[in-house]
Amino acid sequence: MISLGIESTAHTFGVGIITAKGKILANVRDSYATVSGGIHPTEAKDHHLKVKDQLIDIALKAANLSFQDIDLLSFSQGPGLPPCLVVGLEKAKELAKKYDKPLVGVNHCISHLEIGNLLTGAREPVFLYASGANTQVIAYDGGKYRVFGETLDNGVGNFLDAFARELGLGFPGGPKIAQLAEQSGMYVELPYVIKGMDVSFGGILTNLKQKIQSGKFSKEDLSYSAQETAFAMLVEASERAMAHCEKKELLLGGGVACNKRLQEMCRIMCKERNAKFFAPPPDVLTDNGLMIAWQGILQRKVASKKLIRFDIRPRERTDDVGVTWRSIKKPC
């Protein structure tokens, strides 16, 4: 069985093709970016409309397949920006109708987790999902992917992007902050906000804005300090979830998980508690169609040709999803 998945929740339009045995046949994408300022939903939608057909052709060519060879279609149903989600939904429905293929709608966050499990060999991890809009500490428990900790305001990526905007840098800001941080080793104290396993970035952002305006600190030192603080909070929440759930694995996912310093901090924490640390390659950490195609394979039993039942789910939560494709394990 071969599955083609479409990702379009936010900045990226991605197309992936994978077999039921997990053989990767294609994973292509094109991402909306800006020189200055953040992500504008209508502009991101226009970007997706422009690249979608071409990317599907490129993916099929890369896999050396024609559409007749595809057995299953899947798309990101949510969570995400409604104008962007609609582009993926409409394209998936159009293709399913034209080629008479079954369709599955999947949850974007859970797809990040499941592709990580597939590619790293993690089995029962705590999943630190550090992305633009989403920041959650997730673990499978009692038949569901439960959220043990999460941001109470911005996702860590949106926080880094907003901080970058304050420094006059464009979207995505995370990699630019990472570069600046590498040029400093000087920590400037910032608020450290963690409540149980939940985190919050709003106060840190306000504090950073005040420090920028004061003119007393270099952007390198502030970038270094923003990363050290935010990532230490994420690692602390993850460690607490691992202790609470008695899990011995940590899996990273989401665009911010590309960050080498975050990976290093997670690796150190895991080593100290004798746990395993897993991070899949960067092209599946950021938004991609491959994870959507794989999630389609996992959920293929609920695939349908009744296209009328498909819609977007912009606010769907990880713990709202019925996990039908895994066997139930006892609660932790």
Peptide bond between residue 175 and the one before it cis (omega within 30 degrees of 0): no
Q: Does 318 bind Mg ion (CB under 5 A)?
A: no
Choose the stretch contacting ligand AMP; rule: CB under 6 A; options: 173-181, 204-212, 240-248, 319-327: 173-181
Residues 74-133 that bind ligand AMP (CB under 6 A): 131-132
Considering only 256, 266, 298, 312, the residue that binds ligand AMP (CB under 6 A) is: 256
Which residue's Cβ has the minimum distance to Mg ion? Answer: 131
CA distances from 8 to 48, 83, 160, 300 (A): 7, 9, 21, 20
Q: Is 147 helix (H, G, I), strand (E, B) or coil?
A: strand
172 binds, among Mg ion, ligand AMP, none (CB under 5 to 8 A by kind): ligand AMP
161 binding Mg ion? (CB under 5 A): no
Contact of residue 160 among Mg ion, ligand AMP, none (CB under 5-8 Å per partner type): ligand AMP
Of 141 and 161, the one with the shorter C-beta distance to ligand AMP is: 161
Among 117, 286, 295, 299, binds ligand AMP (CB under 6 A): 286
Among 141, 161, 221, 239, contact with ligand AMP (rule: CB under 6 A): 161
**Closest by alpha carbon to 259, among 172, 185, 187?**
172
CA nearest to 233, candidates 262, 208, 254:
262
Residue 186 CA: distances (Å) to CA of 220, 227, 228, 259, 266: 9, 12, 10, 19, 21
Distant-in-sequence, close-in-space partners of 193: CB < 8 Å, separation ≥ 6:
199, 200, 201, 203, 204, 233
d(CA 11, CA 44): 6
Q: Which is nearer to Mg ion, 109 or 177 (CB)?
A: 109
Q: Which does 141 bind (CB under 5 to 8 A by kind): Mg ion, ligand AMP, none?
A: none
Segments in 137-218 forming alpha helices (H): 156-166, 174-182, 202-214
Choose from ligand AMP, Mg ion, none: what does 14 bind? Cβ within 5-8 Å by kind. Answer: none
- Per CB under 5 A, the list member of 228, 249, 287, 316 interacting with Mg ion is 287
Classify residue 77 by its DSSP letter: E
Residue 175 interacts with ligand AMP (CB under 6 A)?
yes
Question: Binding partner of residue 249 among Mg ion, ligand AMP, none, CB under 5 to 8 Å per kind?
Answer: none
Residues 92-131 that bind Mg ion (CB under 5 A): 131
Let me know: does 188 contact 226? Beta carbons within 8 Å.
Answer: no
Q: How far is the CB of 177 from ligand AMP (least distance, A)?
A: 6
- Residue type for 270, please? C
Task: Give kind and range of the element (H or E) at residue 2.
Answer: strand 2-7
Q: Does 34 bind ligand AMP (CB under 6 A)?
A: no
Which residues of this chain interact with Mg ion, rule CB under 5 A? 131, 287
Which residues of this chain interact with ligand AMP, rule CB under 6 A? 10, 131-132, 157, 160-161, 172-175, 178, 254-256, 258-259, 286-287
